[in-house]
Structure formats: structure tokens, C-alpha cells
Chains A and B, each alone.
Chain A
Amino acid sequence: MVHRSTTDRIVDYLITALLILVGVTALLPLVNTLAISLSDKAAVSGGMVGLWPVGFNLDAYGFILRDDKFWQAFGVSVLRVLLGGVLNFVLAVMTAFPLSRSTRAFPARDLFMWFFVFGMILNVGIVPWYLTVSSYGLLDTIWALVLPGAVPIWSVIILMNFFRSIPKELDEAARIDGATPWQLLWSIYLPTSLPALATITLFSIVGHWNSFFDGLILMNNPNNYPLQTYIQQLVIADRPALHGGQAALMAQLSNNTLNAAKLFVAMIPILLVYPFLQRYFVRGIMLGAVKE
């Protein structure tokens, strides 16, 4: 180890301090929201709440607990995460496995591969997309939220690259014993791909939990909105669409405390999986870069 001078140390501390400041600043907006949600309404409308609650109370959270509409939307979101997550998982595995095989085993592989990649980069406009989903009769059903994105092509590519990196010897031994492709997938590839599977599952969970736009255009009845769409309508959109009475709506829109609490509750599921997200997403980015 080369001797380090005092100036070097001082620079070390300065850089560290600067980055801690950057990190803390990145979180300040979230802290402010949390503080508002825990504060007294009057203090909030007076613009007095900064990073610490003023007139601490849990009224807003109590109100949310009793708010049926909120929990209905929460339920739609949970359902889409579960259903969409399972669909994404099964389809990603079943699509990635054939694409990871050699062209001798699966001659049409490259053709399919280009087809899927083309499907990924082809971003058809929102209007024909809406007309298509609507023509299938999916509007106002949970299927509208999970079927259109059921094949997560980016996850397919990650998984395919991962499958290809698994040593061929395992595979060949099992095939000599007469294993079918389904058995290979089930007993060799899936158990050895757990980190990649965790990554793509987290991609799905976050993606489904966070999307609002499909809910907005594919659900005509606000009772079918997932949570993000519900919040988007309540906190952001100016169009009055929910909660019947105009007066009730205005009172609600002006209620910053309650809105902040709703934003925070909608964040909780992400915060709960955040430790895993950090670990597996970082790895996932690298997995995507793994080449044969």
C-alpha cells in the first residue's frame, strides 16, 4: 500500500461528504411527502411542513384504512401483479428455453429470435393498440392489464443468455439418459437459473405495480382501476372522475395530507421488495450483457 498524504485524506472526506449530500438530497422529496402525510392539515395548507411533521397525527392513514375505493384499487393492483407475474414467468421461461438451444436442436431458432426482437423494438402507436385490445373484448377485465404485456421480451433475452451460459455437459448427460426437453428445462435449467429467474420476476412485479396508463385507457369503469391509475386520477388528473359528488371531490383534491399519505402507501410494496430489487436488478443488468 502506497503511503497516502494528508491532502489525499482530506479530498477523500470531501468527496464522501459531497456524495452523502447528493444521496440525502435524492431522498428529501420522499421525506417531505412522508412528513406532510403525518402532519396537521392546517399546517400543510399553511406551507409550514418541511422535513419533519408539524402537529403529528395519523388521521390521513386512518382515513385510507376506511377508504373502500382505495383498497379496491389496491386489490386490482395485487391481482395484476400476481396474475401478470405468473404469466410473465411461465411465458418468459417457455419462450427463452427453445431460443437458447443450438440451431441443430431447434433449426427455426434464429427466425423466431428475430421475430421476437422485432416485436420488442416495434412500438406500434397507442391508437391501433387500443383498438386491437378493445376488439378482443378485453376492456374492463383484468386480462386487459396482463395479456398485452404477457411476453416480457427483455426478460426472455436475459433468461436466454443465462440458459446459454449453463455448461452443456449437464444437459448432454441428462439427454443420454433419455430426458425430454420439458424434463431438461424442469430439472436442470430452472434449478440452476434461480438468480436470473429472481431478476425477471422482480422486473415483472415492479412493472405491473407501477403501470397506470393501461388501466387508464382500458378500464372505462373507475372501479376497475389499478392503484396507480386511481392515484393518478385523484392526485394528478384535473378531470373529476371518481367519488361521485363534485364537492366531495374538490374537498379531497385540496387535501394534500391525504394525497401524500396515498402516495406513500402506494410506495410501500416497492419499499418492501427494495432490498431484493437492489441486489437482483444490478445483477440483472449484468446478466443482460452476458454473451455466449
Chain B
Amino acid sequence: MFKDSERLAYYVMILPGLALLIAFTFVPLAYSVIAFQKFNPALGVQGSPWVGLDNILYMFSLRDARQVFFNTVFIATMKMIVVLVAAVAFALLLNEVRFLRIRRSIQTMVYLPHFLSWVILAGILRTILARDGLVNDFLGVFGIGPIYFLGQPNIFPWVIIFSDVWKEFGFEAIVYLAALTSIDPTLYEVAELDGANRAQKMRYISIPGIAPVIVLVACLSIGNVLNAGFDQIFNLYSPIVYSTGDIIDTYVYRIGLIQGQYSLGTAVGLFKTLVALILIGVSYWTAGKFANYRIF
């Protein structure tokens, strides 16, 4: 039934993808050995001297590196929490809107920022958050400000967190809306007959109905604790806010590619890769255990 020619065809089909995967993912992984060298581009990987764990140890001794690690975890974690809460709240409220056409229009409005790049959104944010921008004009009405949102270290991380909420909350709500639609409508009808009000129906039917999805999303987020959003921060930060806004990815870019400390940049990146792999393992394990999730 299954001829060799058929199997051969499958190997031929998968070959180009496999070759590209090796060339652009596994070859760079092999290149990561320069984390254990004092790499010099002129000498290449073969010619550069080996230094053992020096780069790794140096990385741990840098005060910058510790701050950057903390910033990354803080921003990424707060983003996950705030986006999740906003998305769930939005989905629960949107589910209460009975006018279907209005519901669609609201979705159309809130999904749009998700599809725009951080370059565009950062350009827009820089304009509206400027001293004479839209936001400060609005706050001015209440006698607040002006606040320099992108230039104050204590405010900057929150600008990052809430601008991410702006971009993603609507889109993140899609999975919760889908879960809400799949709740058996007779549950609500029975509850109404028992005299349950709107808040009670939400509390005892809707929220338990989407709880498994919330758990799943939370579990899968664990793998992203070190991804605080390079594109976003890279396009919004400046040296004034490095103390609270610099993250691992932006730090690696600056020391590795701008300053040309290839080995140190690779060491920091490799450390991140390893921790991320462990976290993703943990996230899939918890997602499988608590939410019965499998990727395929």
C-alpha cells in the first residue's frame, strides 16, 4: 500500500524547508560557540582564541545586566497580567452587547492596532505623548501635567505596558469571545428562570465558562517572560530611560551589534535562549497538565 516512491516524495517535499531551517536556525546555534571565545571577525571562529566561561562570568558581574534582566521580567510579566485582565473584561462586556452590528463595529475598531507595526505605532505614540500632544492636551483640561511620558524612567515602563494593552487587548479577547459563544445557552435560560441577575450570570456561568481558556493563556505566557517586546521598546526608548526601559534584547543589540562586542552579546543571548527554552518547557508542561493543551 505504501510504496517507497511515496515515501521518497515526502522526503523530497520536506527537504527545502529542512535545509532552510538548518541554515538559519541551527547554523546560528553552532555560531553561538563564540560566546566562549574572544571572537574577532578577522580571525573567524577557527582563529579566535578560546576563553572558556569568561564572557558568561563577566556578564553576571555587570550591574547593567542584572538591571536589564529585572526590567525584562517586570515589563513582560506586567504586560501579560494587564493585557489578560483587559482582554477578559472586554470579552465579558462585549458578550453582553445584544446589537450584533454594533458588536462587529467595536471589534473592527479594537483589532486594528494589532495589525500595525511598532514602527508605525511608535511614530504615532511619540506624537500623541509629546509635550504638546493629544494626551497632554487632554490631561491639561483637568489641570494635570504636562507629563513627559517617554523621558521619565519611573513612567516609561508603564507607557510600554499600556501601549501594548492598546495594541493587543482586542485581539487577545478573540479566544475568550470564542469560549463565551461555546457556552451552552440553556445554562443562562435556566439561571434566568431561577431569577439570576446579569452580574450573577456573569459570575456563575460566563467566568467559569472561560476559566479554562484563561488558565491556558496564562500557562502559555510563562514561555514569554523574557520577551518584553523588542520592536516596541527599541522604537520608543532613549538613553534617558535605560535604567528602567532597557531589556535583554535591546541590550544585546547595543553591546553585540552596535558596540561590536560579538562574544559578550552572544553570551547574553545564549543565556536568554537557554532560560527561554526551560520556560517554554515549563509552560507547555503546565498547559498540558492544567488545560489539556497540545500543540499538534
Contacts and interface: CB of A to CB of B under 8 A. Distances in A.
B99 to A, nearest CB: 7
Contacts of B111: 278
A121 to B, nearest CB: 5
**Tier of interface size on chain B:** 35 or more
Contacts of A22: 90, 106, 110
B225 to A, nearest CB: 13
B24 A148 contact: yes
Contacts of A119: 21, 25-26
B13 A98 contact: yes
A160 interface: yes
Interface string B265-276: 110111011001
A166 interface: no
A107 B8 CA distance: 11
Given A50-B134, A151-B21, A232 B294 contact: no
B240 to A, nearest CB: 12
Contacts of B106: 19-20, 22-23
B31 A132 contact: yes
A146 B133 CA distance: 37
Contacts of B13: 94-95, 97-98, 181, 185
A26 B109 CA distance: 7
Nearest to B26: A119
Given A22-B106, A128-B28, A231 B120 contact: yes
B10 A210 contact: no
A105 B128 contact: no
A235 B120 CA distance: 9
Interface in B63-95: 90, 93-94
Interface string A119-155: 1011111111111110010000000000111110100
Contacts of A128: 28-29, 31-32, 34, 266, 269
Q: What does DSSP make chain B's interface, helix, strand, loop or mixed?
A: helix
Contacts of A151: 17, 20-21
Contacts, number: 257
B269 A124 contact: yes
Nearest to B108: A278
Interface residues of A, number: 99
A266 B17 CA distance: 31
B105 interface: yes
Contacts of B14: 94-95, 98-99, 112
B246 interface: no
A12 B262 CA distance: 59
A8 B94 CA distance: 15
Given A260-B123, A277-B115, 7 more contacts: A27-B109, A47-B133, A117-B295, A124-B273, A278-B108, A291-B294, A292-B296
3 smallest beta-carbon distances between A and B, as pairs: A125-B269, A47-B132, A23-B109
Interface of A: 2, 8, 11-12, 15-16, 18-20, 22-24, 26-30, 32-33, 36, 47, 50-51, 91, 94-95, 97-99, 101, 104-108, 112-113, 115-117, 119, 121-133, 136, 147-151, 153, 156-157, 160-161, 180-182, 185, 206, 209-213, 217, 228-229, 231-232, 235-236, 238, 256, 259-260, 263, 266-267, 270, 274, 277-278, 281-282, 285-286, 291-292
